[in-house]
């Protein structure tokens, strides 16, 4: 009886091992054609370096990683603010001597080449950070209006972000709840946002909606 039980156990284990091996072989059947980085890395971790496929797949995963990094870099550069050495349009405000117009000029000149480089590095680091527990995220503002603007961002931290007309600017900031406010061509814009992941906000020219007031009809946010 014990001998029979042993044989049954032996064949059960053998069958299980064979099934696992078959499943593994099926999983990696097209390993040389795949571009799935995770699958290739998993194969490399579970195979030996003397495997004929190992060197080929190692080279491929490096190439795929480099291509992925290049795409992320391109995407990150799209978020980076364009150089801020620009003329100030005369139509920024109905009052060209307003304090906000002067503040805008000051914020623009403060963004020197060294500051821009630091901002770029911080932005790239935030773009490449895949850690969902990261405490920082990216806010991008597109200004499609005919006027320069200053976006005031209030939360646990405070920021004043200058954005030229038809331009954009970005900021790496701690995740959290924020109040966004600005004067868009002398029309007040206010919004509250929970910014827990990368977000893009677009502001355009104000539109008169009724006799009661004016609102910015071009506002939208994207994540």
Same domain, 131 and 188: yes
- Let me know: does 186 contact 175? Beta carbons within 8 Å: no
- The full length of the chain comes to 223
**Residue 13: inside a domain:** no
Same domain, 68 and 125: no
193-to-32, 120, 217 alpha-carbon distances in Å: 46, 24, 17
Q: How crowded is the C-beta side of 42, counted as CA atoms within 13 Å?
A: 11
Number of domains comprising the chain: 2
**What per-residue confidence (pLDDT) applies to 97?**
43
Tell which of 79, 111, 146 closes a domain: 79
Expressed as residue numbers, the domain containing 58 is 28-79
**What per-residue confidence (pLDDT) applies to 98?**
61
**What per-residue confidence (pLDDT) applies to 218?**
46
Residue ranges in the chain whose pLDDT is less than 50: 2, 8, 20, 22-23, 80-97, 210-211, 213-219, 221-223
Spell out the residues 6+ positions from residue 176 whose beta carbon is closer than 8 angstroms to its own: 155, 156, 194, 195, 196
Is the pTM higher than 0.75? The answer reads no
**What per-residue confidence (pLDDT) applies to 177?**
94
**What per-residue confidence (pLDDT) applies to 59?**
86
**What per-residue confidence (pLDDT) applies to 153?**
94
- Around Cβ 159, how many Cβ atoms within 10 Å? 14
Same domain, 64 and 36: yes
Q: Which two tokens stand for residue 190?
A: 């206010």
**What per-residue confidence (pLDDT) applies to 48?**
81
DSSP 58-110: HHHHHHHHHHHHHHHHHHHHHHSPPP------GGG-SSTT-HHHHHHHHHHHH
**Residue 17: inside a domain:** no
């Amino acid at each position: 009886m014990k001998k029979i039980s042993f044989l049954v156990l032996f064949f059960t284990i053998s069958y299980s091992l064979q099934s696992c091996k078959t499943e593994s072989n099926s999983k990696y059947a097209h390993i040389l054609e795949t571009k799935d980085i995770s699958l290739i890395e998993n194969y490399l971790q579970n195979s030996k370096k003397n495997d004929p496929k190992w060197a080929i797949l190692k080279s491929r995963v490096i190439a795929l990683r480099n291509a992925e990094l290049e795409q992320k870099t391109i995407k990150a550069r799209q978020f980076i603010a364009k150089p801020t050495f620009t003329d100030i349009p005369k139509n920024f405000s109905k009052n060209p001597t307003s304090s906000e117009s002067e503040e805008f000029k000051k914020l623009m000149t403060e963004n020197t080449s060294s500051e821009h480089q630091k901002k770029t590095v911080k932005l790239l680091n935030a773009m490449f950070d895949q850690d969902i527990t990261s405490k920082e995220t990216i806010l991008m503002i597109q200004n499609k209006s005919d006027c320069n603007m200053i976006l005031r961002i209030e939360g646990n931290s405070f920021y004043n972000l200058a954005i030229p007309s038809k331009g954009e600017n970005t900021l790496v900031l701690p995740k959290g709840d924020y109040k966004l406010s600005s004067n868009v061509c002398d029309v007040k814009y206010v919004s509250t946002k929970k910014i827990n992941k990368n977000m893009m906000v677009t502001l355009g020219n104000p539109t008169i909606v009724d006799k009661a007031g004016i609102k910015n009809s071009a506002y939208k946010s994207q994540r």
